[in-house]
Structure 1
């Protein structure tokens, strides 16, 4: 009898629970298919499915994992999926959860990039993206207000945001330098005046965990969640090799000046400075891709952001559009479409491989981060600086959406962007204003706003210029 009971009882090894990997695979595919609406919406979807519906993980464990992901560079929602997948089924679970989270957006933006490159000259495409640009501007302005409301709760945080805006907008201070400076100020501020510097404390539970089945840690810590130096060295060696091998091969075979090598190196650097969400790093990416490398025109950066806003997956997936267009216009020995597809894969690889590294390396040590005031202060300061950086992005987009000509003037070490007032695009300004009102006043969803703006852009073109 005892043998029969033992045989009937579901095994809990090696992960400490009886959740089948195949079932988890179906759930992660469902999460990926519903991953619209930016990180807030994506995290809400995971919470509803994993905590409330499936009851696979407790409220407290979910929120603690989210706190850790908030401290990392990269898209926190994708990293949260990777973390929970790893918690459930080890490295294989993390790979499946994190990869599926990215895959729908990658395929969607790849198709849109090919269509954009091939049919951009068509009037109807131009007209639709005219409307999308206006909506994206409204979305970025709304992001400034949303992040600012959360982060700018004390005078030091307001000063940090203002200093970050001035540094990047007027003096072209690199985004990584701003992030590092903000983190250092936060660490110092935690010692001098923690009440004013510890603003962002993560998502703390309101009370004790809900009475759900915390299937992962119910009977102790599974082996794969226990940290060790040997494991950490192995993980670092594997993922650093996966990350840097393509860069070394490209640099050795094509040279450092080839567009593929430049794309690989640039987006690798981007992967380690994406604190504060995709909106923060977009300003840096736009500045480099447009002004330094010449991969895109200013308006095309807005087009790419519109694609990322309306497809599932992380917003940072816009990197593949930037890479596609850069290689499409400088394909070397390849045909433009093949070069663009390869560049899309390369940019996606060097953007998300580091995300897996951060999770697989750091997750076993995550408990040591609980309650750290210095880390909370650093996160608070970084988020405040991000407000200034995103404001820079909003101003930069606003100028290029609203005016046909902008002159850049350098004086006393400062950069000034002076729009030609006679080139103001009144329809674009009005459409942006309408999109902003829809978002803020009437709480219309992001995707409907972008869709309506695209239709209105096409309708305006038809009325203004005729069929």
Structure 2
């Protein structure tokens, strides 16, 4: 079953491919920037989906382990063109960033220096901040309707930003509040075909789960019998575990991987890991693409083939396979049922509550991103603590570390987007050239 877009807005497959190739090339800024970018292009510019459909899909993707932005791209592609649309959108969202991070990892392994990238990408990050601010404002205006939804968004933001509450707890609480206070009649959704044969649907879902699980674990089945490939098998097995338990956002995952890759597996040095994080922040695609940098260097350092670069490439591909293939499994197996929830008043209320909280979640990500773009030194300061459950703290920047160039580019970007309605590509191109000019002069 697929969920079709409104017929007069549904793109043909070639247009879908073209647009998601563009999104993949422009998806800077981590999950907040990527969700904002897709909202602007899919909802505002192309009008392929109404805002409520986009947010409904986003609610589900935020509940899943793994890269939520890539899962959202897969979900959107599935809604527009079924399984082939989901595969195309999900792959194209990741592919440009993957190619770039692998190329940079190869250069890094050869040259040992990534500092030359900073000037090029400083302007891009500042421009993405402008895109995030505009999109967050629009999403809030469309999602927050009434005091309950506004209160949930504010509570979710404070819970994450100040109190460090676990993300699943925030989502569960928002769903319960929405279930009780946000239930409302749900209009029929003629654009979603109803599949009444539940036995056939169950068989189809089981087949989908088995097929994509087999595809996901195929490299492990191939590698394990060959002892000489133990490093590659270790890399793939480790990132399979990461894919299953990567709740809490990209930054929580990267913190854990950094610790394990450096201290447990000794695949990288601390300095190499920090350089990898810097590359991920300044390249398009999901932030977890930095894991491909880790996989590349791990396999490059212990090559199973004569050419270390070839071994590194295989390590990066295995890492990407382990991290991103589960997204297709989760979407193709779960999305048909999630679409059905739009017709259930009670569960629709729960999802409306989660949707309101997601605005707070994205606001938290956006503020974190803004502080780290505009300031070179950011610390977390403790406010108070009531053990064992309640601890409050704030991310607080060092005012002296304010990057005036980034601030100027971000403000100019906001003005360009809101007042002059500049397109995304001209904005990013102008910001990149400005950043490069500033970096060259300084």
Same fold (TM over 0.5): yes
Q: Does 1:421 align with 2:399?
A: yes
For the residue of structure 1 that corresponds to 2:60, the secondary structure is coil
For the residue of structure 2 that corresponds to 1:293, the secondary structure is helix
C-alpha change, 1:371 and 1:349, in structure 2 (3 Å) is: same
For the residue of structure 1 that corresponds to 2:200, the secondary structure is coil
Q: CA deviation at 1:318?
A: 1.5
Match of 1:326 in 2: 294
Match of 2:202 in 1: 229
- Report the number of matched residues: 381
Q: Does 1:102 align with 2:103?
A: no
Match of 2:26 in 1: none
Contact 1:264 1:347 survives alignment (8 Å): no
Larger Rg: 1
Contact 1:320 1:343 survives alignment (8 Å): no
Mapped partners of 1:367, 1:397: distance in 2: 31
Map 1:199-210 → 2, pairs under 5 A: none
**Structure 2 counterpart of 1:266, from 229, 234, 242:** 242
Structure 2: gaps of 5 or more residues: 3-10, 24-36, 62-67, 262-271, 386-390
Q: CA deviation at 1:349?
A: 4.9
Contact 2:342 2:348 survives alignment (8 Å): no
Q: CA deviation at 1:227?
A: 3.3
Contact 2:75 2:86 survives alignment (8 Å): yes
For the residue of structure 2 that corresponds to 1:414, the secondary structure is strand
Q: Which moved more, 1:133-142 or 1:403-412?
A: 403-412
Note the alpha carbon deviations across 1:57-77, whole angstroms, 9 max, x for none. xx9xx9998797456325344
Contact 2:156 2:360 survives alignment (8 Å): yes
Note the alpha carbon deviations across 1:3-53, whole angstroms, 9 max, x for none. xxxxxxxxxxxx9xxxxxxxxxx95344212223543424689877xxxxx
Q: Which moved more, 1:258-267 or 1:386-395?
A: 258-267
Contact 2:258 2:273 survives alignment (8 Å): no
Mapped partners of 2:338, 2:219: distance in 1: 30
Contact 1:132 1:303 survives alignment (8 Å): no
Contact 1:186 1:380 survives alignment (8 Å): yes
C-alpha change, 1:353 and 1:123, in structure 2 (3 Å) is: closer
Match of 1:18 in 2: none
Match of 2:374 in 1: 402
Structure 1: gaps of 5 or more residues: 1-14, 16-25, 49-58, 87-93, 210-215, 274-280, 309-316
Q: CA deviation at 1:247?
A: 7.1
Mapped partners of 1:297, 1:251: distance in 2: 27
Match of 1:114 in 2: 102
TM-score (norm 1): 0.66
Contact 1:264 1:350 survives alignment (8 Å): yes
CA RMSD, 1 decimal: 4.4
Mapped partners of 1:290, 1:78: distance in 2: 26
Q: CA deviation at 1:374?
A: 2.0
For the residue of structure 2 that corresponds to 1:173, the secondary structure is coil
TM-score (norm 2): 0.70
Q: CA deviation at 1:455?
A: 0.5
